[in-house]
Amino acid sequence: MDGSQVQIGQSLQARLAVWMTGVISGFALIAGLISFGSSYQEANDLQDDQLLQIALLSSNHFLNPPTQDVDAKANLNDPDSRVILQFLPPAGNAKSVSDGVSSEPVLKLPNGLPEGIQTLTVNNETWRIMVKTLDNGARVVVGQKTAVRDEIARDSALRTLLPFIVLIPILLLLVSALIRRMFKPVKQLALDLDQRDPQDLREVADDHVPSEIHPFVIAINRLLSRVAQSMAVQRRFLADAAHELRSPLTALSLQAERLASSDLSIQARQRLDALQSGLQRSRQLLDQLLALARAQESVNDQAATVSVRRIAHQVMEDLMPIAQAKNIDLGMVGEKDAELRVSEIDLKTLIKNLLDNAIHYTPTDGKIDLHIKSFMSKTILQIEDTGPGIPEEERERVFDPFYRILGNDEVGSGLGLSIVKTIADRIGAVITLGYVRGEAKTGLSVSVEFPAQCSPTTAP
């Protein structure tokens, strides 16, 4: 059994549709057979009544017997000649009333036929006849071929099946559509859960969920609550550990600075420089761990309308000494500004990590430009540098925590882009990586497109 067959066998919707189709088709078949048999019998009874009515009509109006000339015989082969009328002699008289007209009757019927409806075989043909004694003592026979009667009854019965033939497929389609409609809230619930951000642990809404699925939704919400609590404990532990480590690292840094002011040998000075460099990297790592813990918080800070240009200027002022140490031209292109309805801390952390990452990977005498653009009510923040760029096959992995591209000698923790991605996902922004110079595959271009709901106004 292949995967599709297993999926259909486990699908409640498919099984319900199959069972409903089988039940409806079975009942329709039984009802059709009963309706066909009833209509068939009713049509035959109606034709028997017609034979009786014709016999009574001939009795009341004293109709003459038909002449048996060539034309009369030809009428027997006419498909429209449904009924024949023939007179028999009175009971006990061997002479037929029609003898004066023709020596040969239409049907060679035996004498002494009883009164009423009966079925006879004459000349290898089955006839349904009605025998009636008239007021003048003559006996009249009204007959009809059973083949003709069966054809009429069958056509009449088949016409009663037309509503079943037409309506049953329509009913099956309606049942299938109703089943899909009933299961639509369940599918929509699964789609909403599948499209959620990994950090989104809000409870699942159960407004339009069927009561049979409601216990399952409650269980999912309880699980999400436990997962959220577990993640919150982990984040608090990370933040507390980083915070507790800052104090001893700060004390060690101060002791190293005091030791640097002392008279040391060349070998001791080299070891002290390595110690200070390591302490600086450790402090930077702790700062980024704290930033990552804050960025992963599920509850946003109070959002307010902030100026992108103002936040970018503040970040550049903080990072300018690091850029000047590498003689990097760090600046903002154009005078355009934009306002975003986001947390100021989130926006500052995002821009700081992007610029810090660009400064680290841009070589000496390089250049870093920051652009603020607007497009269709959306704000785009773009940072371009003259560094080596990121290969296309690495652009998905660089957002993972602690991931660093192989062969890169720059000092870093591998958390900068992970912090940026976490903040962007939470506010609904989209990050795009590319080359500044595509033909040479050099320079990194990072574009952050903020959603329209984050742009209440756009300043010129």
pLDDT digit string (tens) for 271-280? 888 887 777 7
In the block, which residue shows the tokens 């050099």? 442
pLDDT tens figures, 82-121 = 677 777 766 555 444 444 333 445 677 777 777 788 877 7
pLDDT tens figures, 307-346 = 889 999 998 998 888 889 889 998 888 888 888 888 888 8
Look at residue 79 in the predicted model and tell me its pLDDT: 47
More confident of the two residues 18 and 382? 382
443, 331: one domain? yes
* Structure-token pair, residue 348: 């500052």
Choosing from 243, 268, 299, the residue where a domain stops is 299
Look at residue 382 in the predicted model and tell me its pLDDT: 92
321, 428: one domain? yes
309, 439: one domain? yes
CB atoms within 10 A of CB 67: 10
Q: Has residue 188 been placed in a domain?
A: no
Please state the φ and ψ torsions of residue 316, each to the nearest 5 degrees: -65, -40
Q: Has residue 63 been placed in a domain?
A: no
Q: In 3D, which of 292, 299, 298 has the Cα closest to residue 419?
A: 292
Residue 167 vs residues 36, 181, 183, 290: alpha-carbon distances, Å: 16, 21, 24, 68
Identify whether the C-beta of residue 165 lies closer than 8 Å to the C-beta of residue 28. no
**Which amino acid is located at 362 in the chain?**
T
**pLDDT over threshold 70, residue 293:** no
Identify whether the C-beta of residue 442 lies closer than 8 Å to the C-beta of residue 389. yes
Kindly report the pTM of this predicted structure: 0.49
Report the distance separating Cα 257 and Cα 265, nearest Å.
Answer: 16
- The tally of domains found in the chain comes to 2
More confident of the two residues 61 and 223? 223
* Structure-token pair, residue 123: 């000349």
Choosing from 299, 317, 339, the residue where a domain stops is 299
Query: For the chain, give me the number of helices (H) and strands (E)?
Result: 9, 11
pLDDT tens figures, 386-429 = 988 888 888 888 888 777 665 455 555 667 788 888 888 888 88
Look at residue 369 in the predicted model and tell me its pLDDT: 92
Look at residue 219 in the predicted model and tell me its pLDDT: 87
Q: What is the CATH number of the domain that holds 251?
A: 1.10.287.130
293, 233: one domain? yes
Confidence of residue 156 (pLDDT cuts 50, 70, 90): confident
Mean pLDDT of the chain: 76
Report the distance separating Cα 94 and Cα 111, nearest Å.
Answer: 8
**pLDDT over threshold 60, residue 438:** yes
* Alpha helices (runs of H) in 195-265, residue ranges in sequence order: 214-260
Domain range spanning residue 287?
196-299
397, 288: one domain? no
320, 263: one domain? no
Confidence of residue 371 (pLDDT cuts 50, 70, 90): very high
**Which amino acid is located at 304 in the chain?**
A
Identify whether the C-beta of residue 278 lies closer than 8 Å to the C-beta of residue 406. no
Report the distance separating Cα 29 and Cα 26, nearest Å.
Answer: 5
